[in-house]
């Protein structure tokens, strides 16, 4: 049996349930149980927006609940884009402080990665400043032994080639990517983009949009899995939801497709 991709949950997918205090998953503290028992998913990518106002004790509680459910917190996802390319000292200091706070929170949650979005134009000067800012950020959080994953974002990192160039420029083994099926589809060549970014990824968001009959639209989930497996990807796929309806049924249907696609046996 070869190594398998592990299916996890991007917790933002159930944000509508938490916002509505839906009995199925009324709070952030219910997510680990819900992910494991209802969706059969074994890990959590946690967005910072759902932790706003939470205390250190709350983070410890979420970590303990996640561990007990067998669906541990894996990635802390910063939702606010950060200006790593900033030149103003006060902005640079604010970014460094934010990274220190993210690292402390990720450490309490038991996460191994922090995912960030970079505010940057596509200019060569901004490329260099962004790389320098990321190197500083990695130095600031070095004592936590965390990886920093770059989420594709408008500007510099929306282009998969520029994103991989940025990762190479920063260098080291603690910098990587967190791509998504949705971004890859928007790029115009979903297979090429996923094959480009997957070798640098610790996690990939498996974007779920919706179904027409039995078929996921607007892209084929199995093709996405085949694309990342083709370059040896064996980390996690975090189911995310970008549709407009109740996410649960679509997530369950997508999970079935993805689960079948990631099963591999020695030939």
Over range 238-246, report the average pLDDT. Answer: 93
Say whether pLDDT at 266 is over 60: no
What is the C-alpha separation between 6 and 81, in angstroms, rounded?
27
Instruction: Parse the chain into domains and list their residue ranges.
Output: 1-75+179-267, 78-173
> With pLDDT > 70 as the criterion, what percentage of the chain qualifies?
97
What pTM does this model have?
0.95
pLDDT digit string, tens, across residues 107-164: 999 999 999 999 999 999 999 999 999 999 999 899 999 999 999 999 999 999 999 9
Residue 36, SS3?
Answer: helix
Q: Which CATH number fits domain 1-75+179-267: 3.90.580.10, 3.20.20.150, 3.40.50.450, 3.30.460.10?
A: 3.20.20.150
Whether the upstream peptide bond of residue 218 has omega within 30° of 0, thus cis, is yes
Q: Which residue has the tokens 């610790």?
A: 202
Q: What is the pLDDT of residue 3?
A: 67
Say whether pLDDT at 265 is over 90: no
Tell which residue, 8, 80, 85, has the closest CA to residue 39: 8
pLDDT digit string, tens, across residues 192-208: 999 999 999 999 999 99
Say whether pLDDT at 267 is over 50: no
DSSP state letter for 34: I
Q: What is the pLDDT of residue 191?
A: 98
Virtual CA dihedral for 234, 236, 237, 240, nearest 10 degrees? Answer: -170
Q: What is the pLDDT of residue 263?
A: 86
Q: What angle is formed at CA 201 by the lines to CA 198 and CA 205, rounded to 5 degrees? A: 85
pLDDT digit string, tens, across residues 25-39: 999 999 999 999 999
> With pLDDT > 90 as the criterion, what percentage of the chain qualifies?
94
Over range 58-80, report the average pLDDT. Answer: 98
Q: What is the pLDDT of residue 1?
A: 47
pLDDT tier, 63 (very low <50, low <70, confident <90, very high otherwise): very high
């Amino acid at each position: 049996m070869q190594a398998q991709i592990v299916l996890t949950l991007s917790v933002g997918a159930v944000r509508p349930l938490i916002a509505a205090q839906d009995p199925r998953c009324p709070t952030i503290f219910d997510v680990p149980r819900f992910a494991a028992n209802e969706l059969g998913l074994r890990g959590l990518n946690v967005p910072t927006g759902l932790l706003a106002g939470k205390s250190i004790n709350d983070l410890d509680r979420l970590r303990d609940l996640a561990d007990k459910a067998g669906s541990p917190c894996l990635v802390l996802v910063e939702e606010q884009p950060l200006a790593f390319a900033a030149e103003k000292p006060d902005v640079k200091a604010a970014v460094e402080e934010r990274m220190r706070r993210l690292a402390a929170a990720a450490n309490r949650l038991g996460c191994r990665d922090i995912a960030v979005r970079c505010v940057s134009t596509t200019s060569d000067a901004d490329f260099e400043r962004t790389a320098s800012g990321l190197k500083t950020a990695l130095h600031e959080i070095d004592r936590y032994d965390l990886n920093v994953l770059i989420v594709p974002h408008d500007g510099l990192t929306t282009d998969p080639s520029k994103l991989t160039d940025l990762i190479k420029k920063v260098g080291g083994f603690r910098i990587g990517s967190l791509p998504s099926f949705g971004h890859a589809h928007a790029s115009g060549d979903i297979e090429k983009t996923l094959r480009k970014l997957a070798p640098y990824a610790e996690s990939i968001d498996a974007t779920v949009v919706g179904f027409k009959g039995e078929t996921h639209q607007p892209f084929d989930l199995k093709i996405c899995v085949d694309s990342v497996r083709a370059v040896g990807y064996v980390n996690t796929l975090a189911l995310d939801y970008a549709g407009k309806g109740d996410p649960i049924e679509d997530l369950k249907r997508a999970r079935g497709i993805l689960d079948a696609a990631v099963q591999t046996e020695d030939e």
